[in-house]
Structures are given as C-alpha cells and as structure tokens.
C-alpha cells in the first residue's frame, strides 16, 4: 500500500463544479475521484493539498483558499489537510506518491513510477502523478505543480484528467461502470430478488438490503447492459424503472414511477423522480417531480422545481459547444449529448426549461418564463423582471435559506463553509 498525497492543482477550468469543493471531491462515477484513486491504487493517503491563494494581495482568493482547506478537512477523516507552507511540505517522506485529484481514470503507469519520475498528461502538460527523492522537491513542486521538478518525465497520450466542466460527461460511463463492478464484487445482495420486483438481464445487481436498502414491489430493474447498485439505506419506490449502469447512493430515494436510465449516479440523500438519464448527482439534491434531465451534473443542495426539463441534444445533432466560465470563449466539448452543469444550491421554479450545454452557476435562482441558456452567473436572481446577470442573490438571505435547507437533512453549516460561500459570492 503506497503512501500518497492527493492534490488539487487548481489548473483546470472547472467552473461551478469546484466552487465549493476540491476537484478530488467531485463525484465522477459512483464514487468521488479521491475515493476511486484511493481504492483502485490501494493508497495509504497521508494527506490532501488544495489550491493556494492565487496572486499576492487577492484577499478574496486567500479567504476562499483558507476556507476550502478547512472544508476539505471536514469532509475527510482519514487524511489531514497539508498546508502548502515549506515547513509542512518538508515533512513529506521521500518517495511519497503525489497524485492529481483531477485524475478520474488513473493510468496503469502510475504503479510503475520510480523515484524522480513524473507522469504528465500530454494534451495539457499537467502532472498526473510523481515521486520525488528529496523533501525539497515536494516544496518546489507544490509552488508551481510543474513537471520540471522531476529529472525524468513520462507522457500519457490519452486524457485522464478533468480540465473543463464537460469532461465529467467525457469520463462518466467508463468511471461509473468500473466503480459499479468493483462495488458489486465486494458485496452480496440477498439470495432472492425482493418480492414483486422484476429483474431483466444478468449483469451484476447489488441491493444492500443487509444494510437497510429497500426496493418496493412493482419496480423493474434492467441489468442487460450494465450493473445496478442500490446502496445502504436507499429506497426505490413502487413503479420505478432502473436501467444499468446505475448507482443509487446511500439514503437516496428514487420516487414512484421514476424512469432512471443508464449511466446515472445518484449521490447520497438525493430524491429523484421523473425521467433521468446519464446524470451525476453530487449528493443532497432534489429532483422530486416529473421532468426530463439528461447528460447533466447536479451539485449539492440543488432543488429542481416540478416540470424542470433540459435538452441534451441540439436540433442539428451537432457537437455541443460550451464556456467553462462566463468569461471564457466557446469551446468544443467533443460531445453530441451534453445537458447542463447545475451548480450547488441552484434552485429552479416550476416548468423551468434548460437548453443544451447550459451552465447554472453556484447559488443561481431561476424563476423566469424564458428558457435558460449559456452561462447563468453565480448567485444570479433570475426572473422575467431581472434577466440573468442583472440582480444578485443577497448573501445574508442566501445563507439563511441554505442553513434551513441543510437543517432539513440534520446538518449544520460550518463557519468555514459559510466563509467559502461568501468568498465565491464576493458580497
């Protein structure tokens, strides 16, 4: 079990995905990237490194960096947050593996790295992983995340790391199927299918009924084309149709008559209904009513109003173009099917329409009759009277609502999380 440090170099333009979390805490399949790296590479994680404060004198960036480091520590009981100060980095043992938390699918070359070598993703030039011979090399590396610190570099031809928000769609299918097969191999479902449940196909099916999972009569589970995992204390209500590959996370609820199509991952404590396909729910989000959601990402504490529906395919059947942030130029995504990036704490009103490739940034509140397209700014208050970008959700009011929402799940907002939200808000 190699000693390792997982780091977020902050070099990807991931927009709303990483406003309130490190890149390695993104759910990129059934698991977060940090958990997949830890499990697949059998890592003994010594610590975690989050992005620094940015340019000198940028107080907002410094506040965000400090808050993100603390919030990350709150998420991870198994590893300490390592400060990027030289005295802390000098304590890293020589030979420790450092691995980029933006890496979704760890290449096999990581396991063959020798001392003094760095593994680099060719398309970006960014370091995937490295092992250094001296503590001083770790100090230098975490200043710039440059491969030049290592005497030798090895290039990986294929893309293995998130660099843009839409890459969560790029890696989704392979990461999810890999996670599901690993989970199913390590657990056992009951010897009998629950009464009244119909199962089609012979791919792995894991229902954690030994840990409180419940699947009601009238549910159809299709595993013809991939595994289905229904995790601890999850509930699948009557009449739901589940199509693998599919993950239903801990304490999540699939509501009555929902159609959950393949390549979907529902994180913990979500409530999901309607027609959903190819979508990753980070966790603690609600889509509790009818409406279509396809090839999308939904952040924590998002709530989609009844009838909220998105498009995941252009009428031209062409490649979807998107902006990583509102300030960036349009880029090709390489995807024909690409829905929406929906950030943390986003709220949509009834019958909201979301166009192909739209991004709804953190904290946006959508209550307008026009369809949502392009990039909706963070904390935008969007109504027919106030189009996107013309009015901002007041920070104090936003935090009050967020605390109420989190309290419904018996969670309390920490001071660090409130500071992180405030830094992103800028108010």
Question: How much is the pLDDT for 343?
Answer: 98
Domains in the chain, number: 2
Of residues 154 and 327, more confidence is placed in 154
Q: Report the distance separating Cα 270 and Cα 36, nearest Å.
A: 21
298 and 322 in a single domain? The answer is yes
Q: Report the distance separating Cα 269 and Cα 361, nearest Å.
A: 21
Stated pTM of the model: 0.96
- Who contacts 110 (Cβ-Cβ below 8 Å, separation ≥6)? 41, 97, 99, 119, 128, 129
Domain holding 190, by residue range, is 168-425
Q: Report the distance separating Cα 281 and Cα 168, nearest Å.
A: 12
Q: Which residues pair with 376 in a beta bridge?
A: 360
181 and 153 in a single domain? The answer is no
Question: How much is the pLDDT for 54?
Answer: 63
188 and 139 in a single domain? The answer is no
282 and 378 in a single domain? The answer is yes
57 and 175 in a single domain? The answer is no
Beta-carbon count within 10 A of 11 CB? 17
179 and 106 in a single domain? The answer is no
- Who contacts 14 (Cβ-Cβ below 8 Å, separation ≥6)? 23, 26, 102, 162, 163, 164, 165, 324
Provide the CA 410 distance to its chain's centre, in angstroms: 22
Q: 329 is written with which tokens? A: 């130029």
Q: How confident is the model at residue 86 (pLDDT cuts 50, 70, 90)?
A: low
155 and 245 in a single domain? The answer is no
- Strand 3-7 with 97-100, pairing: parallel
Q: Is the dihedral of CA 252, 257, 262, 263 positive or negative?
A: negative
Q: 97 is written with which tokens? A: 């593996």
197 and 98 in a single domain? The answer is no
Question: How much is the pLDDT for 227?
Answer: 96
Q: How confident is the model at residue 85 (pLDDT cuts 50, 70, 90)?
A: low
Q: 304 near 291, Cβ under 8 Å?
A: yes
Running DSSP on this structure, what letter comes out for residue 40? H
Question: How much is the pLDDT for 353?
Answer: 98
Q: 367 is written with which tokens? A: 């209550």
Digit-coded pLDDT (tens) for 213-266: 999 999 999 999 999 999 999 999 999 999 999 999 999 999 999 999 999 999
Digit-coded pLDDT (tens) for 161-213: 999 999 999 999 999 999 999 998 876 655 578 999 999 999 999 999 989 99
Domain harbouring 213, CATH code: 2.160.10.10
123 and 237 in a single domain? The answer is no
Across the chain, what does the average pLDDT equal? 93
Q: How confident is the model at residue 400 (pLDDT cuts 50, 70, 90)?
A: very high
In the predicted model, is pLDDT for residue 99 greater than 90?
yes
Digit-coded pLDDT (tens) for 37-66: 999 999 999 889 999 866 556 778 888 999
Question: How much is the pLDDT for 56?
Answer: 54
Percent with pLDDT over 70 in the chain: 96
92 and 181 in a single domain? The answer is no
175 and 112 in a single domain? The answer is no
Instruction: Tell me the CB-side half-sphere exposure of residue 118, using CA atoms within 13 A.
Output: 21
Picking from 117, 137, 163, the residue at the C-terminal end of a domain is 163
Question: How much is the pLDDT for 60?
Answer: 81
Picking from 163, 186, 202, the residue at the C-terminal end of a domain is 163
Q: Report the distance separating Cα 276 and Cα 7, nearest Å.
A: 32
Q: How confident is the model at residue 426 (pLDDT cuts 50, 70, 90)?
A: confident
Report helix, strand or coil for 35. helix
Question: How much is the pLDDT for 22?
Answer: 96
Picking from 113, 147, 163, the residue at the C-terminal end of a domain is 163
Q: Report the distance separating Cα 250 and Cα 245, nearest Å.
A: 17
Report helix, strand or coil for 254. strand
266 and 282 in a single domain? The answer is yes
Question: How much is the pLDDT for 83?
Answer: 65
Q: Which segments within 92-194 are labelled E, that is strand?
A: 97-100, 117-121, 127-131, 152-156
Q: 361 near 342, Cβ under 8 Å?
A: no
Digit-coded pLDDT (tens) for 281-331: 999 999 999 999 999 999 999 999 999 999 999 999 999 999 998 889 999
């Amino acid at each position: 079990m190699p000693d390792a440090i997982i780091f977020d170099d902050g070099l990807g333009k991931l927009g709303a995905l990483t406003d309130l979390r490190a890149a390695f805490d993104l759910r990129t399949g059934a698991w977060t990237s940090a958990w997949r790296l830890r499990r697949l590479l059998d890592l003994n994680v010594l610590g975690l490194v989050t992005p620094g404060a940015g340019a000198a004198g940028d107080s907002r960036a410094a506040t965000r960096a400090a808050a993100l480091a603390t919030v990350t520590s709150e998420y991870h009981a198994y590893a300490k947050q390592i400060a990027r100060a030289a005295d802390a980095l000098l304590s890293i043992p020589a030979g420790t593996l450092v691995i980029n938390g933006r890496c979704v699918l760890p290449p096999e070359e990581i396991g063959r790295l020798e001392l003094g070598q760095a593994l680099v993703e060719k398309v970006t030039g960014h370091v995937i992983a490295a092992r250094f011979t001296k503590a001083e090399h770790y100090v230098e590396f975490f200043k710039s995340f440059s491969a030049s610190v290592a005497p030798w570099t090895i290039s990986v031809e294929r893309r293995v790391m998130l660099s843009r928000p839409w890459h969560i769609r790029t890696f989704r299918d392979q990461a999810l199927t890999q996670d599901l097969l690993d989970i199913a191999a390590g657990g056992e479902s009951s010897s009998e299918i629950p009464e009244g449940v119909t199962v089609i196909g012979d791919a792995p099916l894991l229902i954690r009924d030994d840990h409180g999972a419940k699947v009601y009569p009238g549910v159809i589970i299709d595993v013809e084309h991939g595994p289905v995992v229904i995790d601890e204390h999850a509930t699948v209500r009557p009449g739901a149709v589940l199509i693998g590959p599919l993950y239903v996370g801990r304490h999540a609820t699939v509501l009555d008559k929902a159609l959950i199509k393949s390549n979907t991952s529902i994180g913990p404590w979500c409530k999901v209904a309607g027609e959903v396909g190819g979508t990753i729910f980070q966790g603690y989000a609600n889509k509790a009513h009818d409406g279509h959601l396809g090839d999308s990402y939904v952040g924590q504490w998002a709530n989609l109003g009844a009838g909220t529906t998105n498009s995941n395919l252009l009428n031209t059947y062409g490649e979807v173009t998107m902006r990583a942030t509102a300030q960036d130029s349009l880029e090709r995504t390489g995807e024909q099917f690409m829905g929406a990036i929906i950030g943390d704490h986003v709220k949509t009103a009834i019958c909201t329409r979301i166009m192909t490739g739209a991004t709804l940034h953190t904290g946006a509140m959508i209550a307008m009759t026009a369809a949502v397209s392009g990039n909706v700014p963070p904390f935008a208050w969007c109504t027919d009277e106030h189009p996107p970008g013309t009015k901002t959700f007041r920070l104090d009011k936003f935090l009050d609502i967020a605390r109420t929402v989190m309290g419904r799940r018996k969670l309390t907002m920490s001071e660090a999380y409130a500071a992180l939200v405030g830094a992103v808000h800028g108010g």
